Structure 1
Amino acid sequence: MALSLLVLTDFFQPADHALAYADALAGALGAQLVLLHVRRDSVLDPEHLTGRVDALGQEAIDLALASLARGLSAPVVAEKAHGRVAEAVADALRRHQPALVVLGHRNTDAMPDELVSTAALDILRAAPQPMLVVPARARLSAPHRLLLALDKEQFSLGTYAGLVRHLFDALPAELTVLHVGPDKASAETGTAAAREALERTGLALDLTTGLRAQSLVHATPAGGILQAVAGGGFDWVVLVARPHSFLGELFHRSVTAHVLLHSPVPVLVLPAV
Protein backbone atom coordinates (compact mmCIF):
# COMPACT_ATOMS: atom_id res chain seq x y z
CA MET A 1 0.00 0.00 0.00
CA ALA A 2 1.52 3.36 -1.05
CA LEU A 3 1.25 5.97 1.68
CA SER A 4 0.84 9.71 1.39
CA LEU A 5 0.85 12.38 4.08
CA LEU A 6 -1.23 15.54 3.75
CA VAL A 7 0.72 18.40 5.34
CA LEU A 8 -0.78 21.82 6.04
CA THR A 9 1.41 24.90 5.75
CA ASP A 10 0.77 28.56 6.51
CA PHE A 11 4.45 29.60 6.18
CA PHE A 12 4.78 30.22 9.93
CA GLN A 13 7.48 28.43 11.95
CA PRO A 14 5.26 25.75 13.58
CA ALA A 15 4.01 24.67 10.14
CA ASP A 16 7.56 24.68 8.73
CA HIS A 17 8.68 22.45 11.60
CA ALA A 18 5.76 20.07 11.05
CA LEU A 19 6.67 19.88 7.36
CA ALA A 20 10.27 19.01 8.19
CA TYR A 21 8.96 16.37 10.60
CA ALA A 22 6.60 14.96 7.95
CA ASP A 23 9.46 14.85 5.45
CA ALA A 24 11.57 12.78 7.85
CA LEU A 25 8.59 10.53 8.59
CA ALA A 26 7.85 10.09 4.88
CA GLY A 27 11.42 8.89 4.40
CA ALA A 28 10.97 6.25 7.09
CA LEU A 29 7.62 5.16 5.62
CA GLY A 30 8.44 5.41 1.92
CA ALA A 31 5.58 7.89 1.59
CA GLN A 32 4.96 10.95 -0.56
CA LEU A 33 3.82 14.36 0.67
CA VAL A 34 0.84 16.44 -0.37
CA LEU A 35 1.60 20.00 0.72
CA LEU A 36 -1.52 22.13 1.17
CA HIS A 37 -1.71 25.85 1.79
CA VAL A 38 -5.14 27.28 2.60
CA ARG A 39 -5.55 31.00 2.10
CA ARG A 40 -7.83 31.87 5.01
CA ASP A 41 -9.73 34.75 3.46
CA SER A 42 -12.82 34.70 5.67
CA VAL A 43 -13.13 37.77 7.92
CA LEU A 44 -14.82 35.46 10.43
CA ASP A 45 -11.66 33.36 10.81
CA PRO A 46 -10.61 33.74 14.48
CA GLU A 47 -6.94 33.64 13.49
CA HIS A 48 -7.35 37.11 11.94
CA LEU A 49 -7.46 38.39 15.52
CA THR A 50 -4.03 36.91 16.27
CA GLY A 51 -2.22 38.16 13.18
CA ARG A 52 -1.49 34.58 12.14
CA VAL A 53 -3.28 34.68 8.79
CA ASP A 54 -0.89 35.48 5.97
CA ALA A 55 -1.71 38.30 3.57
CA LEU A 56 0.35 36.95 0.67
CA GLY A 57 -0.85 37.28 -2.91
CA GLN A 58 -1.22 34.29 -5.22
CA GLU A 59 2.17 34.81 -6.86
CA ALA A 60 3.93 35.02 -3.50
CA ILE A 61 2.12 31.88 -2.32
CA ASP A 62 3.21 30.00 -5.45
CA LEU A 63 6.82 31.05 -4.90
CA ALA A 64 6.70 30.11 -1.21
CA LEU A 65 5.22 26.67 -1.94
CA ALA A 66 7.84 26.03 -4.66
CA SER A 67 10.59 27.02 -2.25
CA LEU A 68 9.30 24.66 0.44
CA ALA A 69 8.92 21.80 -2.05
CA ARG A 70 12.51 22.19 -3.27
CA GLY A 71 13.79 21.69 0.26
CA LEU A 72 12.07 18.33 0.78
CA SER A 73 13.56 14.88 0.40
CA ALA A 74 10.26 13.03 -0.19
CA PRO A 75 8.27 13.26 -3.43
CA VAL A 76 5.81 16.13 -3.06
CA VAL A 77 2.69 17.56 -4.69
CA ALA A 78 1.95 21.18 -3.70
CA GLU A 79 -1.59 22.55 -3.73
CA LYS A 80 -3.38 25.71 -2.63
CA ALA A 81 -6.96 26.39 -1.63
CA HIS A 82 -8.87 29.20 0.02
CA GLY A 83 -11.59 29.56 2.60
CA ARG A 84 -12.03 27.52 5.75
CA VAL A 85 -9.24 25.10 6.55
CA ALA A 86 -11.49 22.18 7.54
CA GLU A 87 -13.42 22.38 4.26
CA ALA A 88 -10.24 22.57 2.17
CA VAL A 89 -8.78 19.61 4.03
CA ALA A 90 -11.96 17.57 3.55
CA ASP A 91 -11.72 18.18 -0.21
CA ALA A 92 -8.05 17.16 -0.27
CA LEU A 93 -8.86 14.03 1.74
CA ARG A 94 -11.41 12.92 -0.84
CA ARG A 95 -8.95 13.39 -3.69
CA HIS A 96 -5.73 12.05 -2.17
CA GLN A 97 -6.90 9.65 0.59
CA PRO A 98 -3.75 10.19 2.68
CA ALA A 99 -2.70 8.00 5.57
CA LEU A 100 -2.34 11.02 7.83
CA VAL A 101 -3.01 14.70 8.05
CA VAL A 102 0.09 16.37 9.53
CA LEU A 103 0.05 19.87 10.96
CA GLY A 104 2.00 21.97 13.38
CA HIS A 105 0.93 23.40 16.70
CA ARG A 106 2.30 26.56 18.23
CA ASN A 107 2.86 26.83 21.98
CA THR A 108 -0.44 27.88 23.58
CA ASP A 109 0.41 26.97 27.18
CA ALA A 110 0.04 30.59 28.27
CA MET A 111 -3.54 30.76 26.96
CA PRO A 112 -6.66 29.25 28.56
CA ASP A 113 -7.76 26.21 26.54
CA GLU A 114 -11.18 27.75 25.98
CA LEU A 115 -9.62 30.64 24.03
CA VAL A 116 -7.47 28.52 21.73
CA SER A 117 -8.62 28.02 18.15
CA THR A 118 -6.51 25.63 16.09
CA ALA A 119 -6.83 23.96 12.70
CA ALA A 120 -6.42 20.55 14.37
CA LEU A 121 -9.51 21.02 16.52
CA ASP A 122 -11.54 22.36 13.59
CA ILE A 123 -10.56 19.44 11.33
CA LEU A 124 -11.39 16.84 13.98
CA ARG A 125 -14.83 18.34 14.35
CA ALA A 126 -15.57 18.65 10.62
CA ALA A 127 -13.63 15.81 8.97
CA PRO A 128 -12.36 13.21 11.45
CA GLN A 129 -9.25 11.57 9.99
CA PRO A 130 -6.04 10.06 11.40
CA MET A 131 -4.05 13.15 12.28
CA LEU A 132 -0.55 13.84 13.56
CA VAL A 133 -0.17 17.12 15.44
CA VAL A 134 3.47 18.15 15.78
CA PRO A 135 4.44 20.64 18.51
CA ALA A 136 7.04 23.22 17.62
CA ARG A 137 9.68 21.66 19.89
CA ALA A 138 9.33 18.04 18.70
CA ARG A 139 12.58 16.31 17.71
CA LEU A 140 13.00 15.56 13.99
CA SER A 141 13.30 11.79 14.13
CA ALA A 142 11.17 8.76 13.30
CA PRO A 143 9.26 7.49 16.36
CA HIS A 144 10.46 4.35 18.09
CA ARG A 145 8.28 4.38 21.21
CA LEU A 146 4.54 5.00 20.98
CA LEU A 147 2.29 5.53 24.00
CA LEU A 148 -1.27 4.44 23.17
CA ALA A 149 -3.59 5.95 25.77
CA LEU A 150 -6.90 4.10 26.02
CA ASP A 151 -9.95 3.97 28.21
CA LYS A 152 -11.34 0.53 29.06
CA GLU A 153 -14.14 0.48 26.48
CA GLN A 154 -14.15 -1.47 23.21
CA PHE A 155 -13.53 0.57 20.08
CA SER A 156 -13.31 0.23 16.31
CA LEU A 157 -11.43 2.34 13.78
CA GLY A 158 -13.70 1.20 10.96
CA THR A 159 -12.22 1.79 7.51
CA TYR A 160 -9.06 3.29 9.05
CA ALA A 161 -8.04 0.05 10.80
CA GLY A 162 -6.06 -1.40 7.89
CA LEU A 163 -4.34 1.89 7.21
CA VAL A 164 -3.33 2.35 10.86
CA ARG A 165 -2.05 -1.20 11.13
CA HIS A 166 0.04 -0.63 8.00
CA LEU A 167 1.40 2.55 9.57
CA PHE A 168 2.38 0.72 12.77
CA ASP A 169 4.00 -2.06 10.76
CA ALA A 170 5.93 0.37 8.58
CA LEU A 171 7.47 2.40 11.37
CA PRO A 172 8.13 -0.06 13.26
CA ALA A 173 7.87 1.11 16.86
CA GLU A 174 7.43 -0.27 20.35
CA LEU A 175 3.83 0.14 21.47
CA THR A 176 2.85 0.70 25.11
CA VAL A 177 -0.82 0.69 26.16
CA LEU A 178 -1.55 3.18 28.94
CA HIS A 179 -4.65 3.43 31.10
CA VAL A 180 -5.04 6.17 33.70
CA GLY A 181 -7.26 5.60 36.73
CA PRO A 182 -8.02 7.50 39.95
CA ASP A 183 -6.60 4.69 42.10
CA LYS A 184 -4.28 1.70 41.71
CA ALA A 185 -7.00 -0.93 41.45
CA SER A 186 -8.99 0.89 38.76
CA ALA A 187 -5.82 1.78 36.84
CA GLU A 188 -4.64 -1.84 36.73
CA THR A 189 -8.09 -3.24 35.90
CA GLY A 190 -8.55 -0.61 33.22
CA THR A 191 -5.16 -1.36 31.69
CA ALA A 192 -6.03 -5.03 31.28
CA ALA A 193 -9.34 -4.07 29.64
CA ALA A 194 -7.62 -1.51 27.41
CA ARG A 195 -5.09 -4.05 26.22
CA GLU A 196 -7.87 -6.52 25.44
CA ALA A 197 -9.77 -3.81 23.54
CA LEU A 198 -6.68 -3.09 21.45
CA GLU A 199 -6.07 -6.76 20.70
CA ARG A 200 -9.68 -7.15 19.53
CA THR A 201 -9.08 -4.52 16.83
CA GLY A 202 -6.20 -6.49 15.32
CA LEU A 203 -3.93 -3.44 15.37
CA ALA A 204 -1.37 -5.18 17.55
CA LEU A 205 -1.13 -8.39 15.51
CA ASP A 206 2.39 -9.39 14.51
CA LEU A 207 4.05 -6.39 16.16
CA THR A 208 7.74 -7.15 15.76
CA THR A 209 8.60 -5.02 18.80
CA GLY A 210 5.92 -6.51 21.05
CA LEU A 211 3.21 -4.86 23.10
CA ARG A 212 3.71 -3.41 26.56
CA ALA A 213 1.22 -2.13 29.13
CA GLN A 214 1.42 0.59 31.76
CA SER A 215 -0.96 1.69 34.52
CA LEU A 216 -0.88 5.16 36.01
CA VAL A 217 -2.76 6.73 38.91
CA HIS A 218 -3.84 10.33 38.35
CA ALA A 219 -6.86 12.48 39.11
CA THR A 220 -7.56 13.08 35.41
CA PRO A 221 -6.86 10.99 32.28
CA ALA A 222 -5.36 13.94 30.38
CA GLY A 223 -3.13 14.87 33.29
CA GLY A 224 -1.95 11.28 33.58
CA ILE A 225 -1.13 11.05 29.87
CA LEU A 226 0.89 14.26 29.99
CA GLN A 227 2.68 13.01 33.10
CA ALA A 228 3.59 9.78 31.31
CA VAL A 229 5.23 11.61 28.39
CA ALA A 230 6.91 14.28 30.52
CA GLY A 231 9.72 11.90 31.42
CA GLY A 232 10.88 11.68 27.80
CA GLY A 233 10.30 7.95 27.41
CA PHE A 234 7.97 8.20 24.42
CA ASP A 235 8.18 9.74 20.95
CA TRP A 236 4.43 9.92 20.19
CA VAL A 237 1.16 9.87 22.09
CA VAL A 238 -1.58 7.94 20.30
CA LEU A 239 -5.19 8.77 21.20
CA VAL A 240 -8.35 7.01 20.08
CA ALA A 241 -10.89 9.82 19.88
CA ARG A 242 -14.51 8.80 20.10
CA PRO A 243 -17.06 11.11 18.44
CA HIS A 244 -18.18 12.54 21.78
CA SER A 245 -14.58 13.49 22.62
CA PHE A 246 -14.16 15.98 19.80
CA LEU A 247 -17.71 17.17 19.17
CA GLY A 248 -20.02 19.37 21.18
CA GLU A 249 -19.85 22.50 23.30
CA LEU A 250 -17.46 21.05 25.86
CA PHE A 251 -14.81 20.11 23.32
CA HIS A 252 -12.01 21.96 25.08
CA ARG A 253 -12.63 19.92 28.23
CA SER A 254 -12.06 16.62 26.47
CA VAL A 255 -8.99 14.45 26.94
CA THR A 256 -8.21 14.68 23.23
CA ALA A 257 -8.23 18.48 23.18
CA HIS A 258 -6.21 18.91 26.36
CA VAL A 259 -3.47 16.50 25.27
CA LEU A 260 -3.35 18.02 21.77
CA LEU A 261 -2.83 21.49 23.23
CA HIS A 262 -0.21 20.58 25.82
CA SER A 263 1.75 17.50 24.73
CA PRO A 264 5.50 18.08 24.26
CA VAL A 265 5.63 15.21 21.73
CA PRO A 266 3.61 14.64 18.53
CA VAL A 267 0.06 13.37 19.07
CA LEU A 268 -1.48 10.85 16.68
CA VAL A 269 -5.27 11.04 16.85
CA LEU A 270 -7.22 8.04 15.54
CA PRO A 271 -10.98 8.68 15.14
CA ALA A 272 -13.12 5.80 16.37
CA VAL A 273 -16.45 4.94 14.78
Structure 2
Amino acid sequence: MNPAFVVLVNHSAAAEQAARYAAVLGGPLGVQLELVHVYQDPMLLSEMAFAPVPYLPQLQSDADEALQALAERLPAAEATVLAAPMPYAVQEAIDRFQPLLLAMSLSAEQGLADYLLRNHLLPVLRATHHPLLLVPETGPPPALPRRVLVAVDAEYFALSAASLALAPLLASWPAAFSVVHVRHIASGFEQPVPERLGGSLRELLPVPAPLELCGDAGHDPAAAVLRAVADAQADLLVLIARPRSFLGRLFHRSVTAEVLRGCPVPVLLLPADAPDQPDWMPAMS
Protein backbone atom coordinates (compact mmCIF):
# COMPACT_ATOMS: atom_id res chain seq x y z
CA MET A 1 0.00 0.00 0.00
CA ASN A 2 1.47 3.33 -1.05
CA PRO A 3 1.77 6.14 1.49
CA ALA A 4 -0.81 8.91 1.26
CA PHE A 5 -1.07 12.68 1.51
CA VAL A 6 -4.39 14.26 2.46
CA VAL A 7 -4.87 17.56 0.61
CA LEU A 8 -7.69 19.76 1.85
CA VAL A 9 -9.16 21.43 -1.20
CA ASN A 10 -11.98 23.68 -2.33
CA HIS A 11 -12.65 24.82 -5.87
CA SER A 12 -10.09 27.59 -6.07
CA ALA A 13 -6.95 27.90 -8.16
CA ALA A 14 -4.99 28.11 -4.90
CA ALA A 15 -6.25 24.69 -3.83
CA GLU A 16 -5.28 23.19 -7.18
CA GLN A 17 -1.82 24.74 -6.82
CA ALA A 18 -1.45 23.05 -3.42
CA ALA A 19 -2.64 19.71 -4.80
CA ARG A 20 -0.22 19.87 -7.73
CA TYR A 21 2.67 20.72 -5.43
CA ALA A 22 1.78 17.82 -3.11
CA ALA A 23 1.61 15.47 -6.11
CA VAL A 24 5.11 16.49 -7.22
CA LEU A 25 6.48 16.30 -3.68
CA GLY A 26 5.22 12.76 -3.17
CA GLY A 27 5.99 11.56 -6.69
CA PRO A 28 9.33 9.83 -5.93
CA LEU A 29 7.64 7.66 -3.27
CA GLY A 30 4.53 6.95 -5.35
CA VAL A 31 2.35 8.77 -2.83
CA GLN A 32 -1.41 8.41 -3.20
CA LEU A 33 -3.11 11.81 -3.19
CA GLU A 34 -6.36 11.96 -1.25
CA LEU A 35 -8.19 15.16 -2.17
CA VAL A 36 -10.65 15.97 0.59
CA HIS A 37 -13.30 18.63 0.19
CA VAL A 38 -15.12 19.49 3.40
CA TYR A 39 -18.65 20.32 2.34
CA GLN A 40 -20.26 22.99 4.48
CA ASP A 41 -24.03 23.44 4.42
CA PRO A 42 -24.56 26.58 2.28
CA MET A 43 -27.47 27.53 4.51
CA LEU A 44 -24.93 28.22 7.25
CA LEU A 45 -22.97 30.65 5.09
CA SER A 46 -24.19 34.24 5.19
CA GLU A 47 -23.91 34.77 1.44
CA MET A 48 -26.09 31.69 0.80
CA ALA A 49 -28.63 32.23 3.58
CA PHE A 50 -31.38 33.12 1.12
CA ALA A 51 -30.56 30.59 -1.61
CA PRO A 52 -33.68 28.76 -2.81
CA VAL A 53 -33.76 25.26 -1.29
CA PRO A 54 -34.15 23.46 -4.70
CA TYR A 55 -30.76 24.85 -5.76
CA LEU A 56 -28.84 23.36 -2.82
CA PRO A 57 -28.59 19.76 -4.16
CA GLN A 58 -27.37 21.18 -7.47
CA LEU A 59 -24.68 23.18 -5.64
CA GLN A 60 -23.39 20.02 -3.95
CA SER A 61 -23.52 18.10 -7.22
CA ASP A 62 -21.50 20.82 -8.96
CA ALA A 63 -18.97 20.75 -6.14
CA ASP A 64 -18.61 16.97 -6.44
CA GLU A 65 -18.09 17.18 -10.21
CA ALA A 66 -15.45 19.90 -9.87
CA LEU A 67 -13.57 17.82 -7.28
CA GLN A 68 -13.64 14.71 -9.47
CA ALA A 69 -12.37 16.75 -12.42
CA LEU A 70 -9.44 17.97 -10.31
CA ALA A 71 -8.59 14.41 -9.27
CA GLU A 72 -8.55 13.35 -12.93
CA ARG A 73 -6.02 16.08 -13.74
CA LEU A 74 -3.56 14.80 -11.15
CA PRO A 75 -1.55 11.56 -10.98
CA ALA A 76 -2.62 8.92 -8.44
CA ALA A 77 -5.36 11.08 -6.95
CA GLU A 78 -8.75 10.23 -5.51
CA ALA A 79 -11.49 12.60 -4.37
CA THR A 80 -13.58 12.47 -1.22
CA VAL A 81 -16.32 14.81 0.00
CA LEU A 82 -16.90 14.92 3.75
CA ALA A 83 -19.98 16.68 5.10
CA ALA A 84 -19.05 17.57 8.65
CA PRO A 85 -17.66 20.47 10.65
CA MET A 86 -14.02 21.03 9.71
CA PRO A 87 -12.35 19.57 12.84
CA TYR A 88 -14.39 16.36 12.62
CA ALA A 89 -13.81 16.08 8.88
CA VAL A 90 -10.03 16.46 9.28
CA GLN A 91 -9.99 13.83 12.02
CA GLU A 92 -12.07 11.48 9.84
CA ALA A 93 -9.67 11.97 6.92
CA ILE A 94 -6.69 11.17 9.15
CA ASP A 95 -8.38 8.04 10.52
CA ARG A 96 -9.45 6.87 7.07
CA PHE A 97 -6.27 7.49 5.04
CA GLN A 98 -3.47 7.46 7.67
CA PRO A 99 -1.55 10.11 5.72
CA LEU A 100 2.12 10.99 5.99
CA LEU A 101 1.07 14.63 6.04
CA LEU A 102 -1.79 17.00 5.43
CA ALA A 103 -1.58 19.82 2.91
CA MET A 104 -3.58 22.90 2.11
CA SER A 105 -3.20 26.17 0.25
CA LEU A 106 -2.20 29.34 2.02
CA SER A 107 -4.48 31.91 0.50
CA ALA A 108 -3.63 35.55 -0.04
CA GLU A 109 -6.78 36.22 1.99
CA GLN A 110 -4.85 36.06 5.24
CA GLY A 111 -7.86 36.61 7.48
CA LEU A 112 -9.56 33.50 6.16
CA ALA A 113 -6.33 31.47 6.16
CA ASP A 114 -5.54 32.46 9.74
CA TYR A 115 -9.09 31.62 10.81
CA LEU A 116 -9.03 28.14 9.25
CA LEU A 117 -5.60 27.34 10.66
CA ARG A 118 -6.21 28.56 14.17
CA ASN A 119 -9.80 27.45 14.70
CA HIS A 120 -10.22 24.33 12.59
CA LEU A 121 -7.01 22.60 11.54
CA LEU A 122 -4.57 23.27 14.33
CA PRO A 123 -6.65 21.89 17.22
CA VAL A 124 -6.85 18.58 15.34
CA LEU A 125 -3.19 18.58 14.34
CA ARG A 126 -2.13 19.46 17.88
CA ALA A 127 -3.88 16.31 19.06
CA THR A 128 -2.69 14.04 16.25
CA HIS A 129 0.85 15.46 15.82
CA HIS A 130 0.58 15.24 12.04
CA PRO A 131 2.84 17.32 9.79
CA LEU A 132 1.15 20.09 7.83
CA LEU A 133 2.29 21.43 4.45
CA LEU A 134 1.18 24.96 3.57
CA VAL A 135 1.50 26.04 -0.06
CA PRO A 136 1.30 29.78 -0.84
CA GLU A 137 -1.19 30.75 -3.51
CA THR A 138 1.41 32.87 -5.31
CA GLY A 139 4.29 30.41 -4.92
CA PRO A 140 6.56 29.11 -7.68
CA PRO A 141 5.43 26.38 -10.10
CA PRO A 142 5.37 22.91 -8.47
CA ALA A 143 8.79 21.22 -8.54
CA LEU A 144 10.82 18.95 -6.30
CA PRO A 145 12.76 20.99 -3.75
CA ARG A 146 16.44 21.60 -4.43
CA ARG A 147 17.29 23.61 -1.31
CA VAL A 148 15.48 22.90 1.96
CA LEU A 149 15.97 25.19 4.95
CA VAL A 150 15.12 23.99 8.47
CA ALA A 151 14.71 26.84 10.98
CA VAL A 152 15.02 26.19 14.72
CA ASP A 153 15.22 28.40 17.78
CA ALA A 154 17.07 28.00 21.08
CA GLU A 155 14.52 25.78 22.79
CA TYR A 156 14.74 22.02 23.13
CA PHE A 157 12.57 19.87 20.86
CA ALA A 158 12.11 16.22 19.94
CA LEU A 159 10.25 15.53 16.72
CA SER A 160 7.08 13.43 16.87
CA ALA A 161 6.94 9.95 15.40
CA ALA A 162 4.75 11.28 12.58
CA SER A 163 7.39 13.90 11.77
CA LEU A 164 10.23 11.36 11.79
CA ALA A 165 8.17 9.13 9.48
CA LEU A 166 8.83 11.72 6.76
CA ALA A 167 12.53 10.73 6.61
CA PRO A 168 12.09 8.47 3.52
CA LEU A 169 10.17 11.27 1.78
CA LEU A 170 12.89 13.83 2.41
CA ALA A 171 15.54 11.34 1.28
CA SER A 172 13.68 10.90 -2.03
CA TRP A 173 14.17 14.54 -3.03
CA PRO A 174 17.25 15.77 -4.93
CA ALA A 175 17.70 18.45 -2.29
CA ALA A 176 20.47 19.98 -0.22
CA PHE A 177 19.46 20.54 3.42
CA SER A 178 20.66 23.25 5.78
CA VAL A 179 19.65 24.13 9.33
CA VAL A 180 19.56 27.70 10.61
CA HIS A 181 19.46 28.47 14.32
CA VAL A 182 17.59 31.74 14.85
CA ARG A 183 18.34 33.52 18.10
CA HIS A 184 18.58 37.03 19.48
CA ILE A 185 22.05 38.55 19.32
CA ALA A 186 22.69 41.22 21.96
CA SER A 187 25.41 43.88 21.62
CA GLY A 188 27.12 42.03 18.80
CA PHE A 189 27.87 39.01 21.02
CA GLU A 190 27.12 35.68 19.37
CA GLN A 191 26.97 32.53 21.46
CA PRO A 192 27.85 29.21 19.81
CA VAL A 193 25.07 27.10 18.32
CA PRO A 194 24.03 24.42 20.85
CA GLU A 195 24.99 20.99 19.51
CA ARG A 196 21.92 19.40 21.14
CA LEU A 197 19.60 21.20 18.70
CA GLY A 198 20.63 18.90 15.86
CA GLY A 199 19.91 15.63 17.68
CA SER A 200 16.33 15.05 16.57
CA LEU A 201 17.03 16.42 13.11
CA ARG A 202 19.75 13.82 12.51
CA GLU A 203 17.01 11.18 12.57
CA LEU A 204 14.99 13.09 9.98
CA LEU A 205 17.42 14.52 7.44
CA PRO A 206 18.94 12.16 4.85
CA VAL A 207 22.47 13.56 5.27
CA PRO A 208 24.15 15.62 8.00
CA ALA A 209 23.19 19.23 7.39
CA PRO A 210 25.31 22.26 8.26
CA LEU A 211 24.02 24.07 11.32
CA GLU A 212 24.38 27.84 11.04
CA LEU A 213 23.62 30.83 13.23
CA CYS A 214 21.18 33.49 12.02
CA GLY A 215 21.34 36.52 14.26
CA ASP A 216 18.17 38.38 15.24
CA ALA A 217 19.60 41.71 16.32
CA GLY A 218 16.37 43.61 15.71
CA HIS A 219 14.03 41.55 17.93
CA ASP A 220 12.25 40.33 14.78
CA PRO A 221 12.77 36.55 14.48
CA ALA A 222 10.19 36.26 11.67
CA ALA A 223 12.21 38.67 9.55
CA ALA A 224 15.36 36.71 10.43
CA VAL A 225 13.77 33.47 9.19
CA LEU A 226 12.58 35.08 5.96
CA ARG A 227 16.01 36.59 5.43
CA ALA A 228 17.56 33.15 5.88
CA VAL A 229 15.15 31.72 3.30
CA ALA A 230 16.24 34.38 0.81
CA ASP A 231 19.96 34.01 1.59
CA ALA A 232 19.81 30.22 1.17
CA GLN A 233 17.64 30.52 -1.97
CA ALA A 234 15.49 27.85 -0.35
CA ASP A 235 12.46 26.48 -2.15
CA LEU A 236 10.99 24.80 0.96
CA LEU A 237 11.03 25.97 4.58
CA VAL A 238 10.66 23.54 7.50
CA LEU A 239 9.53 24.86 10.90
CA ILE A 240 9.22 23.00 14.21
CA ALA A 241 5.85 23.26 15.98
CA ARG A 242 5.65 22.50 19.68
CA PRO A 243 2.50 21.05 21.32
CA ARG A 244 1.91 24.05 23.55
CA SER A 245 2.00 26.46 20.66
CA PHE A 246 1.15 24.76 17.39
CA LEU A 247 1.50 27.75 15.05
CA GLY A 248 0.97 30.53 17.57
CA ARG A 249 4.36 30.77 19.26
CA LEU A 250 6.95 28.69 17.45
CA PHE A 251 9.66 31.23 18.14
CA HIS A 252 7.85 33.96 20.04
CA ARG A 253 4.09 34.40 20.12
CA SER A 254 2.90 35.11 16.54
CA VAL A 255 6.27 34.62 14.82
CA THR A 256 5.14 31.54 12.90
CA ALA A 257 2.06 33.34 11.61
CA GLU A 258 4.28 36.22 10.47
CA VAL A 259 6.58 33.79 8.67
CA LEU A 260 3.62 32.16 6.94
CA ARG A 261 2.28 35.53 5.80
CA GLY A 262 5.59 36.55 4.25
CA CYS A 263 7.15 33.30 3.08
CA PRO A 264 7.28 33.02 -0.73
CA VAL A 265 7.87 29.24 -0.69
CA PRO A 266 5.93 26.31 0.79
CA VAL A 267 6.27 25.72 4.53
CA LEU A 268 6.29 22.31 6.21
CA LEU A 269 5.28 22.39 9.89
CA LEU A 270 6.72 19.44 11.83
CA PRO A 271 5.18 18.72 15.25
CA ALA A 272 7.46 18.10 18.21
CA ASP A 273 6.57 15.79 21.07
CA ALA A 274 5.77 16.88 24.59
CA PRO A 275 7.38 17.64 26.92
CA ASP A 276 8.54 20.42 24.68
CA GLN A 277 10.98 22.07 27.09
CA PRO A 278 12.77 20.54 30.08
CA ASP A 279 13.14 22.62 33.23
CA TRP A 280 16.83 23.25 32.54
CA MET A 281 16.27 24.73 29.09
CA PRO A 282 15.72 28.51 29.00
CA ALA A 283 13.24 29.90 26.51
CA MET A 284 14.30 32.51 24.00
CA SER A 285 13.10 35.96 25.06
TM-score using structure 2 length: 0.78
| Mapped contact 2:26–2:169 kept (Cα < 8 A) | no
**2:25 matched to 1:25?**
yes
Q: 1:146 to 1:34 in 2, by over 3 A?
A: same
| Mapped contact 1:252–1:258 kept (Cα < 8 A) | no
Counterpart AA for 1:127: L
Gaps of 5+ in 1: 50-54
Counterpart AA for 2:63: I
For 1:43 and 1:158, the matched residues in 2 are separated by: 39
| Mapped contact 2:35–2:79 kept (Cα < 8 A) | yes
Counterpart AA for 2:97: H
For 2:122 and 2:163, the matched residues in 1 are separated by: 17
Q: 1:248 Cα deviation (Å)?
A: 7.5
Aligned to 1:263: 263
Q: 1:137 Cα deviation (Å)?
A: 1.8
Structure 1 residues 123-162: aligned runs within 5 Å: 123-128=121-126, 129-139=130-140, 140-162=142-164
Q: 1:66 Cα deviation (Å)?
A: 1.4
Residue 212 of structure 1 is aligned with which of 210, 213, 216? 210
Q: 1:267 to 1:200 in 2, by over 3 A?
A: closer
Q: 1:259 to 1:247 in 2, by over 3 A?
A: closer
Gaps of 5+ in 2: 48-55, 274-285
Q: 1:175 to 1:166 in 2, by over 3 A?
A: same
Counterpart AA for 1:28: P
| Mapped contact 1:180–1:187 kept (Cα < 8 A) | no
Structure 1 residues 34-183: aligned runs within 5 Å: 34-41=34-41, 57-73=59-75, 75-108=76-109, 117-121=114-118, 122-128=120-126, 129-139=130-140, 140-183=142-185
**Across the two proteins, how many residue pairs are aligned to each other?**
256
Q: 1:205 Cα deviation (Å)?
A: 6.0
Counterpart AA for 1:179: H
Q: Which runs of 4+ in 1 moved over 4 A?
A: 42-45, 184-188, 247-252
| Mapped contact 1:246–1:257 kept (Cα < 8 A) | no
TM-score using structure 1 length: 0.81
For 1:201 and 1:137, the matched residues in 2 are separated by: 29
| Mapped contact 1:175–1:211 kept (Cα < 8 A) | yes
Q: Kindly name which structure, 1 or 2, has the bigger radius of gyration based on alpha carbons.
A: 2
CA RMSD of aligned residues (A): 3.0
